[in-house]
Amino acid sequence: MSRFKPPYLGAAYYPEAWPPEQVDEDIQLMLGAGLNAARVAEFAWSSLEPEEGCIELDWLRRVVDKLGEAGIASILCTPSCTPPAWLTQKYPEVLVVNHAGVQAQHGSRRHVCPNSPLYRRLLTPVTERLAAAFGKHECVIGWQIDNEVYPWEEWGCYCSCCQQAFRERLRQRYGNIEALNAAWGTNVWSQTYQDFSQIPAPWPGLCHHPALLTAWALFQSDSLVDYVGYQADVLHEHVTQPVGTDMMPVMGVAYEPMHRKLDLVQYNHYDLMDNLWRQVFWMDYMRPLKEAPFWNTETSTCWNGGVTANGYRDPGFCRVNSWLPVALGGEANLFWLWRAHWAGQEVMHGSVVSSCGRPLHIAGEVKEVGAGFRAAASFLNGTRPAAPGVALHFSTLAWAQLRFQPLATDFDYVQYILDRAYRPMMDIHLRADIIDPAAPLEAYRVVFSPFLPALDESGLRERLWAWINAGGTWIAGPFTDVRTLDAAKPVHAPFVSLEEWAGVYCRYEAPGEPRDFALRWADGAESQGSLWYSAFEAREARALATYANGPFAGFAAVTERRVGKGHIVLLGTLPPPADLQMLLLEIAARYEIYPTASATSNVLVVPRDGEGGKGSIVLELENRPGRITLSSPGRNLLDNELYSGDLELQPYQVLVLTTEAARKPAAATPQIPTEPERV
């Protein structure tokens, strides 16, 4: 058992950039700021191995030991993101190549080919020595592999190694070229191949086949998954601490397969005051990926900055931003960075202390957060966010397919999921897990799957059908179940299974551009659809809404059908947020799932439960006054005051409210009820 206990408040620390004697000063400043963790050696390969085969770890051991003696835990990193100059000079073939055949130069980061066997061979000795030296060190609490892995220039590496691996991947998947041609429909535009060697690695900007583009994007993701998995295997041979890799809120690398070999999720973000709410979505996505609490491994204290400083945050932002991951199920918040760089890249980035060691204006907030983490530690470590019972599907395959075949002009998959699916739920305090199609469904009563073109991903179709029949309610669409895994349309119907499942016949379809059409709901209320229009004959289903005008007037727009012990709700168009909220609330209430709070939309309330008691963490996210009505009194662990009734919240205020003393572990999550009750 480590002597270091969460929650962790820390920062990225680069002692290799400073005189060795400065470590003592930094440690005293860290203690004064309330930090108890430091992330070290992230980009330090040239200091760890200044010459090939000459590995020097003494400097790092001195830093880790000194931090530990002061009560500050270390998270160590593999240095693979930034190889040293001797390596790229001697072995230039490991560098990535862009689509035009131009090889990267030394001096960037993530500029090596993830599929290069040579690079992995060169990386192994320093990784093994690090792991062997620190794998059981009592002051090391975890490991980070590489840094923010993502395809080079978004389209990835085009070196001969990658192109050969891509074609071999297609060969393994399809078996023969005839099967690929049949799945992709390559007769269109005379794209039929006679051999896998003819298949190009697609260039950006060219009008390539959507199946080829999707396959290339997923290949780049899988290459990075395998690259990280290789390093995880090396570390796991030696280390006892958990291993992760710090991800970013982007979809170029698939999160679910990335974490199959990892022990915990690590996550970085740099969102600003006007979009901090988006991080609730991403952290609701991080949390279900692994049972272990996730770590927010990077975020800014006060502003971002590469070559220029940007994104100033008002007072209070650092406080609520630091509490956000811990409230949502994480156990660490680390800033980038501890001491601002004095030279090199990103010298203008915000930090905890300046390059000359002076605490920045947010130092008081950092210290306040550290004190708050310590005051609430027993509650935080003994509870987890309550299981919501509702899930929202989010898919890398859907992102890839809709990236190259978008629903409509300016359609952005991630943005639509955020703004038109998740935010309406968030505004009414209906909490949800964001889940990959590979995730189990048994813990949920309601699953919402908008814009999920291919249901065969990860065997979801069969699992979903069994889950519905067992008593779950599935809200599908729009634009769900309309593609194969190869980004092709089904040819027997507009949907692969949904017509049969939902008991409808899709008579017509049309895009929602340049105009939209009215909806009339069963209770007589009228509103307006958007984005896409599927006109249904509700044959074995009941219409919840019909089109009130336009060419589809009278046809069903939203339907519901009972299937076994469950229900399918099919959206033929995207309703306005208010209508979607009403629909979600009604369906959730059938399972006795209700909003977590009566509060304004700028207030996040996260119920928590466990051996450490019961309570909620309340955060104001939009830098404006908010309100909440507490259903029962709660004691705020941050000021030891008792709060009850109607509360006025200040901008960026945080409350950690406990309503019960420590108790026995909660019972296992009940199974889906055999017959949900309507309200």
664 confidence band (pLDDT: 50, 70, 90): very low
Looking at residues 481-486, what average pLDDT do you find?
A: 97
Q: What percent of the chain has pLDDT over 70?
A: 97
3-state SS record for 486-516: CCCCCCCCCCCCHHHHHCCEEEEEEECCCCC
pLDDT surpasses 70 at 163? yes
Of 98, 106, 97, 109, whose CA–CA distance to 43 is shortest?
A: 109
Measured N-to-C along each axis, helices 210-236 and 160-174 cross at an angle, to the nearest 10 degrees, of: 100
Q: How far is CA 272 from the centre of its chain?
A: 17
Q: How does strand 390-393 pair with strand 446-449?
A: parallel
- In this predicted structure, what is the pLDDT of residue 665? 42
Looking at residues 627-649, what average pLDDT do you find?
A: 97
Q: How does strand 37-40 pair with strand 73-77?
A: parallel
CATH 3.40.50.880 positions along the chain are 390-590
Judge residue 190's burial from the number of C-beta atoms within 10 Å of its C-beta, 0-12 exposed, 13-18 middle, 19 or more buried. Answer: exposed
Q: What is the rounded distance in angstroms from the CA atom of residue 56 to the CA atom of residue 125?
A: 12
pLDDT surpasses 80 at 677? no
Judge residue 499's burial from the number of C-beta atoms within 10 Å of its C-beta, 0-12 exposed, 13-18 middle, 19 or more buried. Answer: buried
CATH 2.60.40.1180 positions along the chain are 598-660
- In this predicted structure, what is the pLDDT of residue 1? 55
pLDDT surpasses 80 at 671? no
Q: What residue has token string 């907030």?
A: 365
Cβ contact 83:94 at 8 Å = yes
Cβ contact 38:30 at 8 Å = yes
DSSP string, 559-627: EEEEETTEEEEEESS---HHHHHHHHHHHHHHTT---S-EE-TTEEEEEEEETTEEEEEEEE-SSS-EE
Q: How many CA atoms lie within 13 A of 168 on its CB side?
A: 8
pLDDT surpasses 70 at 370? yes
Q: How does strand 613-620 pair with strand 654-660?
A: antiparallel
- In this predicted structure, what is the pLDDT of residue 669? 39
Q: Would you tell me which CATH number, out of the four given (3.40.50.410, 3.30.420.40, 3.30.70.141, 3.40.50.880), belongs to the domain 390-590?
A: 3.40.50.880
Looking at residues 144-172, what average pLDDT do you find?
A: 97
Q: What is the rounded distance in angstroms from the CA atom of residue 506 to the CA atom of residue 534?
A: 7
Instruction: Show Cβ contacts of residue 111 under 8 Å, excluding neighbours closer than 6 positions.
Output: 95, 96, 104, 105, 152
265 confidence band (pLDDT: 50, 70, 90): very high
Question: Which three-class secondary structure state does DSSP give residue 364?
Answer: helix
Of 126, 127, 132, 85, whose CA–CA distance to 108 is shortest?
A: 85
Cβ contact 534:478 at 8 Å = yes
- In this predicted structure, what is the pLDDT of residue 674? 37
Torsion of CA 349, 350, 353, 357, to 10 degrees: 30
Structure tokens given for 525: 């209320």
Looking at residues 78-92, what average pLDDT do you find?
A: 98
pLDDT surpasses 70 at 679? no
Q: How does strand 243-244 pair with strand 246-247?
A: unpaired
Contacts 24+ apart (CB under 8 A), 15-22: 15/40, 15/59, 15/63, 16/41, 16/44, 16/47, 16/59, 17/341, 17/342, 17/343, 17/344, 18/339, 20/59, 20/62
Measured N-to-C along each axis, helices 117-134 and 210-236 cross at an angle, to the nearest 10 degrees, of: 30
Cis? peptide before 478, omega within 30° of 0? yes
Bin 56: left if φ > 0, else alpha if -120 < ψ < 50, else beta. Answer: beta
pLDDT surpasses 60 at 118? yes
Position with higher pLDDT, 611 vs 661? 611
Cβ contact 77:337 at 8 Å = no
Looking at residues 383-388, what average pLDDT do you find?
A: 97
- In this predicted structure, what is the pLDDT of residue 205? 85
Question: Which three-class secondary structure state does DSSP give residue 224?
Answer: helix
The one-letter code for the residue type at 490 is P
- DSSP-derived letter for residue 16 is G
What stretches of 241-316 show up as alpha helix (H) in DSSP? 255-258, 278-289
pLDDT surpasses 80 at 186? yes
660 confidence band (pLDDT: 50, 70, 90): low
29-46 pLDDT tens trace: 999 999 999 999 999 999
pLDDT surpasses 80 at 369? yes
Instruction: Show Cβ contacts of residue 423 under 8 Å, excluding neighbours closer than 6 positions.
Output: 277, 577
Bin 484: left if φ > 0, else alpha if -120 < ψ < 50, else beta. Answer: beta
515-538 pLDDT tens trace: 999 999 999 999 999 999 999 999
pLDDT surpasses 80 at 668? no
Looking at residues 363-368, what average pLDDT do you find?
A: 98
Mean pLDDT (the chain, rounded): 95
Q: How does strand 433-435 pair with strand 390-393?
A: parallel
pLDDT surpasses 60 at 275? yes
- In this predicted structure, what is the pLDDT of residue 670? 34
Length of the chain in terms of residues written: 679
598-660: CATH topology: Immunoglobulin-like (2.60.40)
Question: Which three-class secondary structure state does DSSP give residue 341?
Answer: coil
- Per-residue burial over 77-89, b if 16 or more Cβ lie within 10 Å, else e, is bbbbbbbbebbbe
320-356 pLDDT tens trace: 999 999 999 999 999 999 999 999 999 999 999 999 9
Instruction: Show Cβ contacts of residue 293 under 8 Å, excluding neighbours closer than 6 positions.
Output: 6, 264, 329, 330, 331, 332, 384
Query: What angle is formed at CA 252 by the lines to CA 251 and CA 258, rounded to 5 degrees?
Result: 85
Structure tokens given for 546: 């019909």
The one-letter code for the residue type at 540 is E
Q: What is the rounded distance in angstroms from the CA atom of residue 95 to the CA atom of residue 216?
A: 19
pLDDT surpasses 80 at 405? yes
Q: What is the rounded distance in angstroms from the CA atom of residue 343 to the CA atom of residue 14?
A: 12
- Per-residue burial over 273-305, b if 16 or more Cβ lie within 10 Å, else e, is beebbbbbbbbbbbbbbbeebbbbbbbbbbbbb
Looking at residues 419-446, what average pLDDT do you find?
A: 98
